Chains A and B, each alone.
Chain A
Amino acid sequence: MLKKYMAAGVIAAGLVGVAGTAQAGKDLDAVKARGQLICGVSTGVAGFASADSQGKWTGIDVDVCRAVSAAIFGDSEKVKYVPTTAQQRFTALQSGEVDLLARTTTYTLTRDTALGFDFTGVNYYDGQGFMVNKKLGVKSAKELNGATVCVQPGTTTELNLADYFRTNKMTFKPVVIEKIEEVRAAFFAGRCDVFTTDASGLYATRAANAPTPDDYIILPEIISKEPLGPVVRHGDNQFADIVRWALYAMIEAEEYGITSKNVDEMLKSENPSIKRILGVTPGMGKALGVDEKWVYNIVKQVGNYGESFDRNVGMGSPLKIARGQNALWTQGGLQYAPPIR
């Protein structure tokens, strides 16, 4: 009998012994071993991440995932896309369900620290705006006192909204619905006077979901800074570096005029910077721990930042969003990549 109790004690001690071994050390190793990058994206925001009828994902966020895949595997299609709602996304990344979150996620201090994440850059400079029906005759967000506002939960949007109305001594009533489709439906049915989200989302919604897009206007006020960028977990700095520089490489490529069309000719360029970027002069790939042709692969398969922007949200897309703040720094915008050298 005593033996039995001792056995129980040993098992219990054994249980305690394993405590705390669940530690994901190398995210990059896991990605390589799997042969696939798992990327958390939106459930469907036109221009940022949406799946077509064949299940093929496109969008400016999707291009970040493809660029990372191209850098690691030399193939931009080795990505599995996991659609996440605004609510689920952080838990999905924290728990390791996804390797990388490229999901119109605003870069903030809390998220970068207390949530256990690292933001690796900004792939779209956005800001929160308001959309109203023209019939209301509203010309400015300052006239919105007493309005009912449709908003999706689980975002910085809710906080900015409350802050803006508080700052301007106005009141509002929120209607908060979890699924973005239901929020839009409620707004277009007239349940709310105002729909608020990031301006890019307003343009996308107006173009894709409004019964008659011309009935709605987007008010001039942009009430917040929303730098949207890819996020990884704390802990694997090499993986974070690859995600960071994959985006920088796209921006850098645009700056040097390297496009998916001319990248093969650019290999013969005499410009030392371009030679370094494209791996003709080796060293950069080794430093990052990827193939020397990593930028070539990204630009060849995904395109540079300008191409991606234009194809997904810019003038080459139904959204027709101007480059604005997202132009290169050389053209008065904010997109600025540190040099690849």
Chain B
Amino acid sequence: MAVESLGSAPRRTRVAPWNDPVIRGWVFQIVVVSLVGLLAWYLVSNTMENLARQKIASGFHYLEREAGFEIGDTMIEYSPASTYARAIWVGILNTLRVAVLGIILATVLGTVIGVGRLSPNWLLSRICEWYVEAFRNVPLLLWLFLFYKLISEAFPGPRQAISMLWNSVFLSNRGVYFPVPMADPIHQWMGLAFLVGIAAAFFINRWAKQRQATTGQPFPIMSTALGVIIGLPFMVWLLGGAPSHMSWPELKGFNFVGGTVIQPEFTALLVGLVLYTSAFVAEIVRSGILALHKGQSEAAAALGLSRGQSMRLVLLPQALRVIVPPMTSQYLNITKNSSLAIAIGYPDLVASVNVTINQTGQAIENILIIMAAYLSVSLSISAFMNWYNKRIALRER
């Protein structure tokens, strides 16, 4: 009997529906989903009912009302006459700014430190080791307080600001003021040219790799790419009549006017996040490199590659496969840790939303907004890193 059924297609024996594994599986899934749905509905409706009973307002209509409070550091136009929605958007952009810059800088610094720890130079590897131990063993909040205190206590007031580079850059406890070009329509085109440059560099890189693979002829990719990325916007600028009006910072009344400023709160938060996270990144990079078989570096050396070349061309690309997954967690950590901004007064998403909660009293809606914002940023980072991870994954042939 058993032998017979082996060869033939699996024939479905007739069983009662409650014994059919397929139907049973579906039924159980539906039951679980509807139970979860019921629970969610219960929580939401109970909350709504209680809010209504206590006459606490609910809903998202407040987002269109005038916010009425000022924000100290904004990337887009904002005034107290703007809406709550815009105030929250300003906060989201500020969070993204510090998160993106933090991720880039922490990656670069962490990689340098991680590679440095493996250096045969005793002093260098010890310094990198101390760096890692110092930064990762003290809570981030304390680092933030320390950097913020250092900036606000150590630098002079704006009237005694330290001036540098022929009175164009000013350092004070209000931040770093430096000149910027006056707004000009050509800047948008330059931005476009910059993006085109990046795209062009990407394609040149692909073409050069292909050529090297087929003909063996190398191509100076780095210099060409840099030339395209910087050269294109520069040419656009020249074509646009080279507008060179600058806005210079100058002391007027209480503070500097003109130019642009990097504020102490932002600096302290960024420096804190980068130094703290780079210690973790360094350990991840180090472990990624150590995970490689010793034969890899020996083979690279046997081929006559220098230490730098073998690191860049042989070790790091392979180590990336080990590094990327834990790195994702670090990137997510930077994003979420940036909410400590509230302690040192950087106006991030949490700060904007907290003020909104306090003025509208609608805590639940606002907390939902915070959660949705962090969730979508974190999920985007995860999605990108997963995609990248797949791309560099070892293709077994």
Chain A residues with CB under 8 Å of chain B are 1-2, 5, 8, 12, 15-16, 19-20, 22-23, 86-87, 90-91, 94, 110-111, 113-116, 136, 144-148, 153-155, 158-159, 161-163, 165-166, 172-179, 182, 185-186, 189-191, 193, 233-235
Q: Mark B38-65, 1 if CB is under 8 A from A, else 0.
A: 1100100110011001111100000000
A22 touches B46 (CB 8 A): yes
Is B363's beta carbon under 8 Å from chain A?
A: yes
User: Which single member of B149, B153, B253, B354 contacts A87 (CB below 8 Å)?
Assistant: B354
B42 touches A16 (CB 8 A): yes
With contact pairs A19-B45, A173-B72, A191-B173 given, residues A233 and B152 touching in the complex (Cβ less than 8 Å): no
User: Which single member of B49, B152, B347 contacts A19 (CB below 8 Å)?
Assistant: B49
| 15 A–B contacts, CB within 8 A, in A order | A1-B18, A8-B31, A15-B42, A16-B42, A94-B56, A146-B254, A146-B257, A158-B355, A161-B70, A162-B70, A162-B80, A166-B81, A176-B351, A177-B345, A185-B149
B361 touches A178 (CB 8 A): no
B343 touches A179 (CB 8 A): yes
A186 touches B345 (CB 8 A): yes
Question: Cα distance A162–B78 when bound, in Å?
Answer: 12
Question: Cα distance A1–B16 when bound, in Å?
Answer: 12
A15 touches B343 (CB 8 A): no
With contact pairs A12-B35, A115-B56, A116-B56 given, residues A190 and B173 touching in the complex (Cβ less than 8 Å): yes
Question: Cα distance A90–B35 when bound, in Å?
Answer: 33
B46 touches A20 (CB 8 A): yes
A178 touches B343 (CB 8 A): yes
Closest chain B residue to A157 by CB distance? B69
A185 contact set on B, CB distance < 8 A = 149
B157 touches A190 (CB 8 A): yes
Q: Mark B354-371, 1 if CB is under 8 A from A, else 0.
A: 110111110100000000
Closest chain B residue to A187 by CB distance? B152
A176 touches B72 (CB 8 A): yes
B42 contact set on A, CB distance < 8 A = 15-16, 19
B363 touches A8 (CB 8 A): no
Question: Cα distance A146–B361 when bound, in Å?
Answer: 31
B152 contact set on A, CB distance < 8 A = 186, 189-191
Is B283's beta carbon under 8 Å from chain A?
A: no
Question: Cα distance A191–B71 when bound, in Å?
Answer: 16
Is B272's beta carbon under 8 Å from chain A?
A: no
Question: Cα distance A166–B72 when bound, in Å?
Answer: 15
B357 contact set on A, CB distance < 8 A = 87
- Least Cβ distance of B171 to chain A in Å? 14
Question: Cα distance A162–B50 when bound, in Å?
Answer: 34
B69 contact set on A, CB distance < 8 A = 158-159, 162, 174
- Least Cβ distance of B40 to chain A in Å? 11
A174 touches B359 (CB 8 A): no
Is B311's beta carbon under 8 Å from chain A?
A: no
Q: Mark B222-259, 1 if CB is under 8 A from A, else 0.
A: 00000000000000000000000000000011110100
- Least Cβ distance of A228 to chain B in Å? 16
A147 touches B72 (CB 8 A): no
Question: Cα distance A94–B61 when bound, in Å?
Answer: 21
- Least Cβ distance of A130 to chain B in Å? 13
Question: Cα distance A185–B173 when bound, in Å?
Answer: 13
Closest chain B residue to A95 by CB distance? B363
- Least Cβ distance of A47 to chain B in Å? 23
Closest chain B residue to A136 by CB distance? B254
B50 touches A15 (CB 8 A): no
A116 touches B54 (CB 8 A): yes
Is B117's beta carbon under 8 Å from chain A?
A: no
User: Which single member of A16, A23, A116, A165 contacts B55 (CB below 8 Å)?
Assistant: A116
B361 touches A90 (CB 8 A): yes
Question: Cα distance A179–B39 when bound, in Å?
Answer: 37
Question: Cα distance A136–B160 when bound, in Å?
Answer: 13
Closest chain B residue to A21 by CB distance? B46
With contact pairs A175-B345, A186-B345, A191-B173 given, residues A114 and B56 touching in the complex (Cβ less than 8 Å): yes
B68 touches A163 (CB 8 A): yes
- Least Cβ distance of B347 to chain A in Å? 6
Question: Cα distance A2–B31 when bound, in Å?
Answer: 12
A186 contact set on B, CB distance < 8 A = 152, 345
A155 contact set on B, CB distance < 8 A = 358
Is B344's beta carbon under 8 Å from chain A?
A: yes
- Least Cβ distance of A276 to chain B in Å? 35
**19 more A-B residue pairs beyond the given contacts A8-B31, A16-B42, A174-B72, with a C-beta to C-beta distance below 8 A:** A8-B35, A15-B39, A15-B42, A90-B358, A94-B54, A114-B55, A114-B361, A115-B361, A145-B253, A146-B257, A147-B254, A154-B354, A155-B358, A158-B70, A159-B68, A163-B68, A166-B80, A173-B255, A176-B351
Q: Mark B334-346, 1 if CB is under 8 A from A, else 0.
A: 0000000011110
B49 touches A20 (CB 8 A): yes
Is B264's beta carbon under 8 Å from chain A?
A: yes
B38 touches A146 (CB 8 A): no
- Least Cβ distance of A263 to chain B in Å? 39
B71 touches A174 (CB 8 A): yes
A16 touches B157 (CB 8 A): no
A114 contact set on B, CB distance < 8 A = 55-57, 360-361
B344 contact set on A, CB distance < 8 A = 177, 182
Question: Cα distance A116–B54 when bound, in Å?
Answer: 6
Candidate in A19, A186, A191 with the most chain B CB atoms within 10 angstroms:
A191
- Least Cβ distance of B36 to chain A in Å? 11
B70 touches A172 (CB 8 A): yes
Closest chain B residue to A176 by CB distance? B345
Question: Cα distance A235–B51 when bound, in Å?
Answer: 12
Closest 6 CB pairs of A and B: A115-B361, A177-B345, A162-B80, A154-B358, A116-B54, A116-B56
A23 contact set on B, CB distance < 8 A = 50, 53
Q: Mark out the residues of chain B between 138 and 185 whose CB falls within 8 Å of any chain A CB in the assembled complex.
A: 149, 152-153, 157, 173-174
Q: Mark out the residues of chain B between 109 and 160 whose CB falls within 8 Å of any chain A CB in the assembled complex.
A: 149, 152-153, 157
A87 touches B343 (CB 8 A): no
With contact pairs A116-B56, A182-B343 given, residues A154 and B38 touching in the complex (Cβ less than 8 Å): no
- Least Cβ distance of A144 to chain B in Å? 8
User: Which single member of A5, A15, A174, A178 contacts B38 (CB below 8 Å)?
Assistant: A15
Question: Cα distance A2–B16 when bound, in Å?
Answer: 13
B254 contact set on A, CB distance < 8 A = 136, 144, 146-148, 193
Closest chain B residue to A179 by CB distance? B343
A234 touches B54 (CB 8 A): yes
Closest chain B residue to A22 by CB distance? B50
